A = this chain, B = another copy of it.
Amino acid sequence: MPDNHTDVSIVLAGEAGQGVQTVERLLVRLAARAGLHVFATKEVMSRIRGGVNSTELRVGTRPVRAFVDRIDVFIPLVNQTMPHLQRRIGDETLILAETSRIDIHPGAVDVPLTAVAEEVGKALYSNSVALGLIAGLLEIDAGLLGEVVGEHFSAKGGEIAEANREAARRGRELGRGLVEDGRFSKTVTPDGDKGERLLLNGTRAVALGALAGGCNYCCAYPMSPSTGVLVELAARQDELPLVVEQVEDEIAAVNMAAGAAATGARPLVTTSGGGLALMSEGLSVIGNMELPLVLHCAQRPGPATGLPTRSEQGDLNLALHAGHGDFARVVLAPGNIEEAYRLTHHAFDLALRYQIPVILLTDQYLVDSFHDLGELPELESLDDHIVKTKADYRRYAYTESGVSPRGVYGHGAGFVRSDSHTHDQDGHISEDLHETRPRMVEKQLLKLEGLQAEALEPVLHGPRDYQTLLITWGSTLEPAREALENTRRDDVALLHFPQLYPLPLAALEYLGSAERLICLEGNATGQFADLLLRELGFAVDEKLLKYNGLAFTVEDVADLISDL
């Protein structure tokens, strides 16, 4: 492939606990401040120390928002490798290693990170040397580098900050040297966009979207990769009207959310697939009690414990069907960081307006990936849709939309009865099979009509008169979009679904216009393809499935397109 990339892909590999993540964070900030576009994603092992983790940093002239296989610069900090990483190192990859310590990469160019760090003070500073090295390769201004390093280490005292600044400066010289020697020749330049930019990952986008949606109760049990949202919200519990409670297990989380919702709160539960599985019964009670709940599920590879720190899109079937019996629900799946922000807020809107559970599916890749972006959309303040009850209030009154006015305990003259049985309009247990039972089932399912009518439409990328249509949901969007843009094919387009259930009928026309449908999914059976067939009657012609624990790369999709 001709090297026509407008970005540099740099991969650092190190042991857990070796500080690769600090380099990632600083570099992202540095590049963004330098006016460059930046993307960072990590893949880590399920351990706290040791092993081999890696971080990919893409720095570009144009926006970069996706994972690529290609590695332009590889910086191993550990003398060990993983086959899935090794595979990505190509002939063109510049390998920069401390060859005295790291001797498994034959073509490596020596960069004496530790030696330089020790010259400055101690070996500990070698991360700052590495940061400087990259800054040098990217021709980032020395002053800016010093500023970012200084800010980060200022809390640790002036001396340490100064030493790290010096280490970074020395690293930068190493980098500049490589450029000058012609060892590295890619240049990325700022695109001139001077607007302020945001640096977010999916975790933060979900957490902020929840707050924008008025979330005031978050209960969860820690589970990778969903814990970040809990942590992000916990950090706000002393400034905002917000209860954040780590509970004893996932079942407590969903049932606690039920109590919170019945009392008028706007609960968020965050978990991963195993936790969602445990909440299955509870989801059914949210459905039958008609309570608003947003349930964020950050997917990781299953089944069972699977790969705790990796990515997959294997919980769609569970999200669609968790719980027993028939009840109304919505499943949303943001494709990128903006969408994560917007859809989390939208999830609260739907949950509150329809009194239903809304499941928000993300994955490890999305929640852990950062990139710079412009302003986020302005969101509306959401109404609770709570009424002051009258004495004759009926929690489950039949209405035309299936949605009954929402009363809460102690607000008004009525009694609010939230019940898990088949109940009458008052919320009392009913065994009237002739009238109440079927009618109450229909009342609840009626909500699906409204939900379907306002389902978020799929978004088309690429030419309008496509022959082949690639279909994505969730985080596959960005790698697919970049691959499509790169190929500039006028016969291939991409249809991305932010809402997975109920499916928007608007999809029919898009699907019907294609000669060939290809579904891209991060699971082993093609769960969304199954759903398209079941809900819309369209059988896809081909599936591109990935289930090794990694997200799709731009190349995965590019290869697919070039084979068309």
Q: Which residues of A contact B (CB under 8 A)?
A: 45-46, 51, 82-84, 87, 251, 273-274, 276-278, 280-281, 283-285, 287-289, 301-308, 310, 312, 314-315, 317-318, 320-327, 420-422, 429, 431-435, 437-438, 441-442, 445, 523-525, 527, 530-531, 533-534, 537, 539, 547-550
Query: CA–CA, A537 to B281, complex, Å?
Result: 30
A437-B547, A547-B438, A549-B433 known; A303+B321 contact, CB < 8 A: no
A83-B434, A277-B280, A537-B533 known; A524+B326 contact, CB < 8 A: yes
Query: CA–CA, A531 to B278, complex, Å?
Result: 24
A547 touches which of B318, B326, B534 (Cβ 8 Å): B326
A431 touches which of B307, B523, B547 (Cβ 8 Å): B307
A524-B442, A524-B445 known; A304+B326 contact, CB < 8 A: no
A278-B278, A280-B322, A322-B277 known; A288+B317 contact, CB < 8 A: no
9 contacts between A and B (CB under 8 A): A46-B431, A87-B434, A302-B326, A310-B433, A317-B321, A318-B321, A321-B321, A431-B549, A433-B549
> Is B306 a contact of A314 with CB atoms below 8 Å?
no
Query: CA–CA, A212 to B283, complex, Å?
Result: 37
> Is A318 a contact of B307 with CB atoms below 8 Å?
no
A307-B422, A422-B306 known; A321+B323 contact, CB < 8 A: no
A326 touches which of B288, B434, B525 (Cβ 8 Å): B525
Q: A83-B432, A84-B434, A318-B322 are in contact. List 15 more A-B contacts (CB 8 A).
A: A82-B431, A83-B433, A83-B435, A288-B302, A302-B323, A305-B422, A306-B422, A307-B437, A308-B421, A325-B523, A431-B549, A437-B547, A438-B548, A441-B524, A533-B537
A274-B281, A547-B437 known; A320+B318 contact, CB < 8 A: no
10 residue pairs, one from A and one from B, having the closest CB atoms: A302-B325, A273-B324, A303-B325, A83-B434, A277-B280, A288-B304, A277-B281, A534-B534, A321-B321, A304-B420
* Chain B residues closer than 8 Å to A306, beta-carbon distance: 288, 325, 421-422
* Chain B residues closer than 8 Å to A277, beta-carbon distance: 280-281, 283-284, 322-324
* Chain B residues closer than 8 Å to A525, beta-carbon distance: 326, 445
* Chain B residues closer than 8 Å to A432, beta-carbon distance: 82-84
> Is A305 a contact of B433 with CB atoms below 8 Å?
no
> Is A326 a contact of B523 with CB atoms below 8 Å?
yes
Query: CA–CA, A139 to B318, complex, Å?
Result: 56
> Is B289 a contact of A284 with CB atoms below 8 Å?
no
* Chain B residues closer than 8 Å to A307, beta-carbon distance: 421-422, 431, 433, 437
* Chain B residues closer than 8 Å to A549, beta-carbon distance: 422, 431, 433, 437
* Chain B residues closer than 8 Å to A442, beta-carbon distance: 524
* Chain B residues closer than 8 Å to A285, beta-carbon distance: 303-305
A284 touches which of B302, B438, B445 (Cβ 8 Å): B302
Query: CA–CA, A531 to B325, complex, Å?
Result: 16
> Is B421 a contact of A304 with CB atoms below 8 Å?
yes
